[in-house]
């Protein structure tokens, strides 16, 4: 019997990916179905449903699930889920119809339509306010919509969605480029669980990354290794916003750091195929939810987790774990509550006077003694060709990142926010 946390939802790993003869038959069938072009976000969601990362989901959400998730973090059957997983389209489709879901010429899944519901501008705005609006200064009532349509990629994505949401179960036919392009890094939940079992781990932390690892990330991972059996360094290898560092560069940078500065027996590096939603606290909950499926029971949540701009409070992604359903009361049905707990870490930095990494809980010195570390700040310096301050990152990693930026012919301006600059410390 496994000592790892059970997959989310109480049904084990729910995997929609077909294999063998079943896959061949469905691929043949898909060739004769109506072809629906889907977004990169939907492609990532499908792959997560295929590999079991989105257990217990079996397809895209119906309206009752969409509404319950937005409003109260609960699907219609009472299962906790923090963000909508929906499929939008303009095509006229009917309940009972079977569709082939295609991205960039490749069929990723077939789907049986169970429900079609219209999404008005008011519906999309309501979803944005529930999912993306936080407690930061840019989420204030008098400025959220003025700023979000220009600067919040998650809001832009939802507001740009098509007229209808189409719900129903899926059969996944492809994991796209990930198994080959990220061989040994793209791991399914069953594979990470097997690796944890082989190492004898039962308490496992996860470090979420959308940036290369700087010293603060390294410090967080090592704190967790001190109190857990091991750490899964789990980076997003799907799509990011313009100006972020591509997945292949980040994977190389992370490998360099892990090889030189971690005990190999205590850490596993892997990647997962989602696009960022930039939903701040809600996305922190999503990270914990699907990490539970990978066998993780402690999710590292630091400063401004999954944030964008100044839409969220610095530690809002930690505080939300105490406010969700079942956080303070027993779940009526086993398995439907979130079992992966947050590992809440204060603001971390390098302190010259302490002569090492520290946090606001351990360092008594003023901010002039501290090197404020953030992925945004690092991208800004590298993009501008500026000097990266000493103790910000490991030299071996900076070599990888500088080579990438020097090869760019077109650069995107990186906007600094208060959380990244350290002004609010």
Look over the chain and give the mean of its residue pLDDT values, rounded to a whole number: 93
pLDDT at site 407: 86
Regions of the chain with pLDDT less than 50: none
Within 8 A by CB and 6+ apart from 366, the residues are none
pLDDT at site 145: 97
pLDDT at site 390: 86
pLDDT at site 409: 76
pTM for the model stands at 0.94
Domains with residue ranges and CATH for the chain: 20-119+161-172 (3.10.400.10), 184-425 (3.40.50.620)
Q: Which of 211, 239, 293, 297 is catalytic?
A: 211
The DSSP element (H or E) to which 102 belongs, if any, is: strand 98-103
Distances, alpha carbon 52 to alpha carbons 17, 210, 246, 374, in Å: 8, 21, 25, 31
pLDDT at site 342: 97
The DSSP element (H or E) to which 115 belongs, if any, is: strand 115-118
pLDDT at site 391: 86
210 catalytic, yes or no?
A: yes
pLDDT at site 365: 96
Angle between helices 395-406 and 375-384 (to 10 degrees): 50
Encode pLDDT of 394-413 as tens digits.
999 999 999 998 888 776 56
Looking up tokens 């990438």 gives 404
pLDDT at site 415: 62
pLDDT at site 418: 58
Q: Is 266 exposed, middle or buried (0-12, 13-18, 19+ CB in 10 A)?
A: middle
The stretches of 32-91 forming alpha helices (DSSP H) are: 40-51, 63-72
Distances, alpha carbon 382 to alpha carbons 202, 393, 413, in Å: 39, 12, 11
Q: Which of 188, 193, 210, 282 is catalytic?
A: 210
pLDDT at site 232: 98
Residue from 359, 168, 180 nearest 271 by CA: 180
Encode pLDDT of 232-257 as tens digits.
999 999 887 777 888 999 999 999 99
pLDDT at site 211: 83
The stretches of 108-246 forming alpha helices (DSSP H) are: 121-131, 144-151, 153-159, 178-181, 189-199, 215-227
């Amino acid at each position: 019997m496994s000592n790892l946390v059970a997959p989310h939802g109480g049904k084990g790993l729910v995997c929609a990916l077909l294999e063998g003869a079943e896959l061949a038959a469905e691929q043949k069938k898909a060739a004769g179905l109506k072809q629906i072009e889907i977004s990169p976000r939907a492609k990532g969601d499908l792959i997560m449903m295929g590999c079991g990362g989105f257990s217990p989901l079996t397809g895209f959400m119906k309206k009752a699930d969409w509404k319950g998730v937005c409003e109260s973090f609960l699907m219609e059957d009472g299962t906790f889920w923090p963000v909508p997983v929906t499929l939008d389209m303009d095509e006229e489709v009917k309940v009972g119809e079977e569709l082939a879901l295609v991205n960039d010429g490749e069929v990723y899944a077939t789907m049986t339509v169970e429900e079609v519901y219209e999404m008005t501008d008011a519906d999309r705005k309501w979803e944005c306010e529930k999912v993306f609006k936080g407690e930061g200064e840019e989420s204030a009532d008098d400025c959220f919509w003025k700023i979000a349509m220009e600067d919040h990629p998650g809001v832009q994505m939802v507001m740009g969605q098509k007229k209808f949401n189409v719900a129903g179960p899926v059969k996944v036919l492809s994991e796209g480029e990930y198994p080959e392009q990220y061989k040994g890094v793209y791991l399914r939940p069953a594979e990470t669980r097997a690796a944890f079992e082989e190492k004898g781990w039962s308490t496992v932390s996860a470090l979420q990354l959308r940036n290369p690892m700087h010293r603060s990330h390294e410090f967080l991972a090592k704190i967790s290794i001190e109190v857990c059996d091991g750490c899964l360094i789990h980076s997003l290898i799907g799509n990011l916003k313009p100006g972020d560092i591509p997945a292949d560069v980040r994977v190389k940078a992370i490998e360099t750091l892990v090889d030189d500065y971690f005990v190999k027996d205590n850490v596993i590096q892997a990647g997962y195929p989602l696009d960022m939603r930039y939903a701040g606290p809600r996305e922190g909950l999503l990270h914990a939810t699907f990490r539970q499926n990978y066998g993780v029971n402690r999710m590292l949540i630091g400063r401004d987790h999954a944030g964008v701009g100044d839409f969220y409070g610095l530690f809002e992604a930690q505080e939300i774990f105490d406010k969700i359903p079942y956080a303070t009361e027993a779940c009526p049905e086993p398995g439907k509550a979130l079992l992966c707990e947050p590992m809440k870490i204060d603001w971390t930095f390098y302190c010259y006077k302490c002569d090492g990494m520290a946090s606001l809980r351990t360092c008594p010195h003023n901010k002039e003694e501290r090197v404020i570390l953030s992925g945004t700040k690092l991208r800004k310096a590298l993009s501008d060709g500026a000097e990266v301050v000493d103790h910000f990152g490991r030299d071996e990693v900076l070599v990888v990142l500088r080579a990438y930026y020097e090869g760019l012919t077109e650069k995107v301006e990186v906007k600094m926010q208060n959380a990244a600059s350290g002004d609010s410390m």
